[in-house]
């Protein structure tokens, strides 16, 4: 079964351990192998920079040879001077989504700048991707002390009513349930979760979430290059018979009304 | 039956767990059934499982009381008896009750257990483990030892061992195959790879929820296919993903078979897996 988009792919090195070949041409080969049409790609080292602009520029350059498959999802830091111009630049560069790294930027739950970014994303029809974690907390480098994204941060952002499509990547069952059931039905309708960090059998968290929350809230994500891209395919393949062949949401529909998408 | 998701040929999951009534998991029966069903779809031919006491219900998971040790092993042995074509049992003991632990191993061996499971009740380099390892050597049992890669000085609820601790144990018992559990199970696996590289009787089990890119390749580079064994632990989806990862790293067929089943078949007593000859 072909998949339209991987929403949680990144390129570039990771500062806390060696990651093999985190390069765009390798990502394209992985997408081919996994039968994924394209990816919304972020710039991994940029998550640890204060000013995301140079990293975004590096991302656009890195993806330039593969723009038919790899679409930039740069970082927009809404408490940084000129962020609105950076968002315009991102859209002009073909961004299908943008990322924010509030924990790495020291933003707390309910930070007003995040709400501003949410409004801007809604106005420009650009989904906003938030990442819960890069690695298992038990293996973090001693210098990697930033906490995981708290579920409360997602709830507060969505409850602010910006209308932005919020895509949470790297969340597990507990996080997803805490956000989903902590929102009103209209708020839930604007919130999606990627599949990269949800357990399959025997706990069957993925099957449970598909049954209770519904497949329309989930989008395909791999977490590449930090995680094996095969995990989501494995999870889908191991779903019980009543969920076999389930269709996840197609993120391309969120940007379909944009003329450049 | 459809083709196994994990590919053709034997496949031994050397790190399985099962649950029982009263173990703090209301859905224990469906968890066990889900494991076996997913195993069938992946193509697991043998689940080598353990039950760690009462899983915390009546004594701590990593510090099991003697009563819970017996009860947990009985559950596992009953499971093996009920599923003679696909389940084998580790005997799990707490080394702190030294003479009891030794007697329990012998009781379990007589009922068909095929290996020694140690968790985190005592560090691997502790001399208290010596009689248990001597028992393992005498019966050609491997030891599956819980590990926390590059352990911190202290972890709530357990006294975990890391690769350095296991290497100390392996050095004292060079004729016992010691399987360092779940390199994907948390902690700094790169520390483990550096530590075990030159210790020939330490094997690495690929299980655990961790699916870091680079982990499988670097494990192969560190210890070679002859000292890797496949397992899933608590997440069969990540186990399947690692099988698929092995398929794309360019392994020769013999190395692939070694990791999937042949190394495990060699580690356990002869005849442990009917129909499989190492």
**What's the pLDDT tens digit per position in B70-107?**
999 999 999 999 999 999 999 999 999 999 999 999 99
Residue B256 to residue B262: CA distance in whole angstroms = 9
% of chain B at pLDDT higher than 90? 97
pLDDT digits (tens, 9 = 90+) for A24-67: 999 999 999 999 999 999 999 999 999 999 999 999 999 999 99
Do the domain assignments include residue B261? Answer: yes
* Cβ-defined contact of B244 to A234 (cutoff 8 Å): yes
pLDDT digits (tens, 9 = 90+) for B212-255: 999 999 999 999 999 999 999 999 999 999 999 999 999 999 99
pLDDT at B24: 86
* Cβ-defined contact of A138 to B237 (cutoff 8 Å): no
* Cβ-defined contact of A228 to B35 (cutoff 8 Å): no
Give Cα A191 distance to the centre of its chain. 12
* Cβ-defined contact of A226 to B190 (cutoff 8 Å): no
Do the domain assignments include residue B276? Answer: no
Other CB atoms closer than 10 Å to residue A193's CB: what's the count?
Answer: 30
Selected for mutation to probe chain A from B213, B221, B232, B233 (highest A CB count within 10 Å) is: B213
Do the domain assignments include residue B258? Answer: yes
Q: For A130-149, b where at least 16 C-beta lie within 10 A, e where not — what string?
A: bbbbbbbebbbeeebebeeb
Residue B19 to residue B207: CA distance in whole angstroms = 18
Please give the span between the terminal C-alpha atoms of chain A, in angstroms, as a whole number.
Answer: 23
Average pLDDT over chain A, rounded to an integer? 96
Do the domain assignments include residue B275? Answer: no
Residue A261 in this model has a pLDDT that exceeds 80: no
Among the partner-chain residues A20, A203, A230, the one whose CB lies closest to the CB of B241 is A230
Residue B179 in this model has a pLDDT that exceeds 90: yes
Do the domain assignments include residue B46? Answer: yes
Residue B208 to residue B232: CA distance in whole angstroms = 6
- Chain A hits for B214, CB-CB cut-off 8 Å, are 17-20
Do the domain assignments include residue B225? Answer: yes
Closest CA of chain B from A13, distance in Å: 12
Q: A13 touching B, CB under 8 A? A: no
Residue A114 to residue A77: CA distance in whole angstroms = 8
- Chain B hits for A237, CB-CB cut-off 8 Å, are 5, 41, 240
Task: Output the six-digit token pair for B274.
Answer: 């009917």
pLDDT at B277: 85
When divided into structural domains, chain B yields a total of 1
Among the partner-chain residues B41, B216, B234, the one whose CB lies closest to the CB of A238 is B41
Residue A259 in this model has a pLDDT that exceeds 70: no
Closest CA of chain B from A43, distance in Å: 17
DSSP string, B154-165: -BTTB----HHH
Selected for mutation to probe chain B from A18, A33, A228 (highest B CB count within 10 Å) is: A228
Task: Output the six-digit token pair for B137.
Answer: 């050597």
pLDDT at A203: 96
Q: What is the pTM of this model?
A: 0.97
Residue range A212-235: mean pLDDT, rounded: 98
Instruction: Summarize chain A as % helix, strand, coil (round to 5).
Output: 40, 15, 45
Q: What is the 3-state secondary structure (H, E, C) of A210-249?
A: HHHCCHHHEECCCCCCCECCHHHHHHHHCCCHHHCCCCCC
Instruction: Summarize chain B as % helix, strand, coil (round to 5).
Output: 40, 15, 45
B178 in Cβ contact with B201 (< 8 Å): yes
**What is the set of domains in chain A, with CATH numbers?**
3-254 (3.20.20.140)
* Cβ-defined contact of B35 to A201 (cutoff 8 Å): yes
Residue A221 in this model has a pLDDT that exceeds 80: yes
CATH code where residue B33 lies: 3.20.20.140
Any residues with CB less than 8 A from the CB of B104 and at least 6 apart, and which?
B66, B69, B70, B73, B91, B93
Selected for mutation to probe chain B from A139, A206, A210 (highest B CB count within 10 Å) is: A139
In angstroms and rounded to an integer, the radius of gyration of the C-alpha atoms of chain A is: 17
* Cβ-defined contact of B32 to A202 (cutoff 8 Å): yes
Please give the span between the terminal C-alpha atoms of chain B, in angstroms, as a whole number.
Answer: 26
pLDDT digits (tens, 9 = 90+) for A97-139: 999 999 999 999 999 999 999 999 999 999 999 999 999 999 9
Query: Which range of residues forms the domain containing residue B186?
Result: 12-267
**Chain A, window 171-200: residues with a beta carbon less than 8 angstroms from a chain B beta carbon:** 199-200
Give Cα B6 distance to the centre of its chain. 19
pLDDT at B2: 81
Other CB atoms closer than 10 Å to residue B9's CB: what's the count?
Answer: 14
Closest CA of chain A from B244, distance in Å: 7
Residue range A225-240: mean pLDDT, rounded: 97
Among the partner-chain residues A17, A138, A201, the one whose CB lies closest to the CB of B190 is A17
* Cβ-defined contact of A234 to B237 (cutoff 8 Å): yes
B16 in Cβ contact with B232 (< 8 Å): yes
Residue A17 in this model has a pLDDT that exceeds 70: yes
pLDDT digits (tens, 9 = 90+) for B14-70: 999 999 999 989 999 999 999 999 999 999 999 999 999 999 999 999 999 999 999
Selected for mutation to probe chain B from A202, A225, A235, A243 (highest B CB count within 10 Å) is: A202
* Cβ-defined contact of B5 to A199 (cutoff 8 Å): no
């Amino acid at each position: 079964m072909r998949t339209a988009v991987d929403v949680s792919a990144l390129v570039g090195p990771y500062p806390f351990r060696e990651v093999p070949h985190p390069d765009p041409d390798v990502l394209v080969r992985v997408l081919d192998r996994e039968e994924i049409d394209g990816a919304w790609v972020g710039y991994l080292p940029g998550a640890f920079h204060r000013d995301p602009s140079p990293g975004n520029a590096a991302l656009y350059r890195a993806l330039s040879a593969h723009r038919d498959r790899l679409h930039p999802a740069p970082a927009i830091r809404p408490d940084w001077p000129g962020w609105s111009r950076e968002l315009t630049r991102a859209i002009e560069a073909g961004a299908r989504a943008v990322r924010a790294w509030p924990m790495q930027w020291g933003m707390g739950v309910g930070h007003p700048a995040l709400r501003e970014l949410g409004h801007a994303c809604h106005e420009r029809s650009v989904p906003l991707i938030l990442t819960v974690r890069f690695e298992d907390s038990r293996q973090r480098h001693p210098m990697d002390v930033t906490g995981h994204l708290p579920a409360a941060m997602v709830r507060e952002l969505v409850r602010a009513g910006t209308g932005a499509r919020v895509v949470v990547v790297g969340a597990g069952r507990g996080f997803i349930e805490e956000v989903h059931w902590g929102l009103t039905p209209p708020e839930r309708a604007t919130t999606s979760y990627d599949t990269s960090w949800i357990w399959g059998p025997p706990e069957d968290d993925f099957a449970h979430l598909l049954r209770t929350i519904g497949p329309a809230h989930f989008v395909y994500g791999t977490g590449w290059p930090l995680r094996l891209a095969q995990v989501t395919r494995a999870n889908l393949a191991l779903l019980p018979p009543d969920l076999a062949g389930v269709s996840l949401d197609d993120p391309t529909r969120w940007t379909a009304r944009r003329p450049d998408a | 039956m459809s083709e196994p998701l994990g590919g053709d040929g034997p496949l031994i999951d050397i790190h399985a767990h099962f649950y029982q009534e009263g173990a703090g998991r209301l859905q224990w029966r469906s968890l066990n059934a889900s494991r076996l069903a997913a195993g069938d779809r992946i193509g697991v031919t043998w689940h080598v499982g353990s039950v760690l006491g009462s899983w915390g219900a009546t004594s701590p998971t990593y510090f099991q009381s003697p009563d819970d040790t017996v009860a947990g092993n009985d559950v596992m042995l009953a499971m093996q008896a009920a599923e003679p074509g696909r389940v084998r049992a580790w005997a799990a003991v707490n080394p702190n009750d030294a003479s009891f632990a030794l007697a329990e191993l012998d009781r379990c061996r007589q009922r068909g257990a095929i290996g020694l499971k140690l968790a985190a009740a005592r560090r691997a380099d502790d001399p208290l483990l010596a009689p248990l390892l001597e028992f393992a050597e005498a019966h050609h049992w491997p030891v599956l030892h819980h590990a926390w890669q590059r352990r911190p000085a202290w972890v709530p609820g357990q006294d975990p061992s890391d690769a350095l601790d296991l290497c100390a144990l392996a050095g004292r018992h060079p004729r016992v195959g010691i399987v360092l559990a779940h390199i994907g199970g948390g902690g700094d696996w790169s520390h483990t790879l550096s530590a075990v590289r030159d210790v020939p009787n330490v094997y690495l089990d690929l299980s655990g929820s961790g699916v870091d890119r680079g982990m499988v390749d670097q494990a192969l580079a560190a210890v070679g296919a002859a000292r890797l064994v496949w397992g899933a632990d608590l997440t069969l989806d990540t186990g399947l993903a690692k099988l698929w990862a092995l398929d794309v790293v360019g392994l020769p067929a013999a190395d692939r078979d070694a990791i999937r089943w042949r190394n495990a078949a060699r580690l356990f007593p002869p005849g442990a897996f009917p129909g499989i000859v190492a």
